[in-house]
């Protein structure tokens, strides 16, 4: 049980605090766990870098996933404490203590019974030896009187030892029956704790499945970050044929999908001209305020430049929705 508590709560100070609150019959205050703390730090760092930047947005995504893992970890601890630790603790502090006490008492009764048997055996042996001496017919009245007195004393002691043995045997039998009845109830207790153990395993399965799904979703969200960054900054890709370069400029690069990826020169040209272009969204983006436009990966939107806007942003348009979008999230189409 202690090792399970260590697994669920590695911090010994936190375990002591929970123990004190439990003894006081009060609810322990909610405490932020390590994944939630890491997630909050990541979100804060991503906000400082700027949600419009690729790295800042990636940090925010990782932070949100870490916080979800922290929530799943909290649910695992609560479920395990309710369905596994609490029944086990109640058994150890209740029925198990009673069984251990009765078994110890039975052991003491057995020792008393063994001692009584030993005393009776010695008394019988002494009386047998005295009877043998009596048959030898010792001479002298005084010796016979003293011997008769000793023989009577040994006989009384033997009777007393025999009575003590009967009492001790009776007490041992009664204690053995009590212990037997308690141990017979262990089978039903084992069945109950087997169900509790199954609940604990299922809680762990749910926790690890949730964590795996969270990380899988995060991996999908971050999967386009490295490739898009390389495509936007790669200089070794073959240039577009001259027929196309006369239209869009010699600095345009081609991607493996046949789409034309915007290089920094294309973005600057777009800002300088008053026209609009189609652009594919590389990955999801959540708008930080009402002036920005939320984006979904792989959707195509219309983008154009606005005079005086920051160089890292363009104005995006999707149907009736319009707002600022970060350039690093876009792939300009030819």
pLDDT band at residue 271 using 50, 70 and 90 as cut-offs: low
In tens, the pLDDT along 219-264 reads 888 876 544 444 444 433 333 333 333 333 333 333 333 333 444 4
Per-residue pLDDT, 175: 87
Between the alpha carbon of residue 86 and those of residues 29, 49, 265, the distances in Å are: 19, 45, 66
The answer to whether residues 182 and 102 touch, using CB atoms and an 8 Å cutoff, is yes
Instruction: Specify burial of residue 251 (Cβ count, 10 A radius: 0-12, 13-18, 19+).
Output: middle
pLDDT (mean) for 30-40: 85
Stretch among 4-8, 225-229, 301-305 having the lowest mean pLDDT:
225-229
In tens, the pLDDT along 200-213 reads 899 889 999 999 99
Q: 141-184 and 186-222 are packed helices; what angle lies between their axes, rounded to 10 degrees?
A: 40
Instruction: Specify burial of residue 327 (Cβ count, 10 A radius: 0-12, 13-18, 19+).
Output: buried
In tens, the pLDDT along 62-95 reads 999 999 999 998 888 888 888 887 787 777 777 7
Residue 239 sits at the vertex; the CA angle it makes with 237 and 245, to the nearest 5 degrees, is 155
151 or 315, which is more confident:
315
Residue 263 sits at the vertex; the CA angle it makes with 259 and 265, to the nearest 5 degrees, is 130
Write down the mean pLDDT value for the chain. Answer: 75
Q: Which residues contact 280 (CB under 8 A, 6 or more apart)?
A: 259, 298, 299, 300, 330, 331, 333
pLDDT (mean) for 132-152: 53
Per-residue pLDDT, 261: 42
The answer to whether residues 158 and 179 touch, using CB atoms and an 8 Å cutoff, is no
Between the alpha carbon of residue 244 and those of residues 247, 259, 304, 334, the distances in Å are: 5, 12, 21, 9
Per-residue pLDDT, 302: 93
Per-residue pLDDT, 65: 94
Per-residue pLDDT, 255: 39
Q: 95-135 and 86-93 are packed helices; what angle lies between their axes, rounded to 10 degrees?
A: 30
């Amino acid at each position: 049980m202690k090792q399970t508590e260590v697994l669920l709560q590695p911090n010994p100070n936190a375990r002591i605090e929970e123990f004190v609150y439990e003894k006081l019959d009060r609810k322990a205050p909610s405490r932020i766990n390590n994944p939630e703390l890491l997630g909050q730090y990541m979100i804060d760092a991503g906000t400082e870098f700027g949600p419009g930047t690729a790295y800042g947005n990636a940090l925010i995504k990782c932070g949100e996933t870490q916080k979800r893992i922290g929530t799943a970890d909290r649910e695992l601890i609560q479920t395990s404490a309710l369905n596994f630790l609490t029944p086990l603790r109640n058994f150890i502090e209740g029925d198990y203590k009673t069984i251990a006490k009765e078994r110890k008492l039975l052991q003491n009764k057995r020792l008393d019974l063994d001692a009584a048997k030993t005393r009776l055996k010695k008394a019988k042996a002494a009386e047998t030896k005295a009877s043998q001496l009596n048959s030898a017919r010792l001479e002298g009245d005084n010796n016979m009187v003293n011997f008769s007195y000793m023989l009577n004393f040994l006989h009384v002691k033997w009777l007393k030892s025999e009575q003590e043995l009967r009492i001790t045997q009776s007490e041992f039998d009664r204690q053995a029956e009590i212990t037997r009845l308690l141990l017979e109830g262990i089978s039903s207790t084992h069945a109950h704790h087997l169900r509790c153990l199954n609940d604990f395993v299922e809680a762990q399965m749910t926790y690890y499945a949730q964590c795996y799904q969270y990380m899988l979703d995060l991996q999908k969200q971050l999967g386009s970050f490295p490739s898009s960054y390389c495509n936007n900054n790669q200089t070794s890709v073959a240039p577009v044929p001259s027929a196309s370069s006369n239209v869009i400029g010699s600095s345009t690069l081609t991607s493996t999908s046949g789409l034309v990826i915007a290089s920094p020169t294309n973005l600057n040209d777009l800002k300088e001209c008053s026209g609009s272009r189609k652009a594919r969204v590389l990955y999801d983006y959540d708008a930080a305020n009402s002036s920005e436009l939320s984006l979904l990966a792989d959707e195509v939107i219309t983008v154009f430049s606005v005079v005086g806007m920051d160089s890292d942003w363009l104005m995006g348009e999707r149907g009736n929705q319009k707002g600022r979008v970060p350039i690093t999230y876009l792939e300009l189409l030819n």
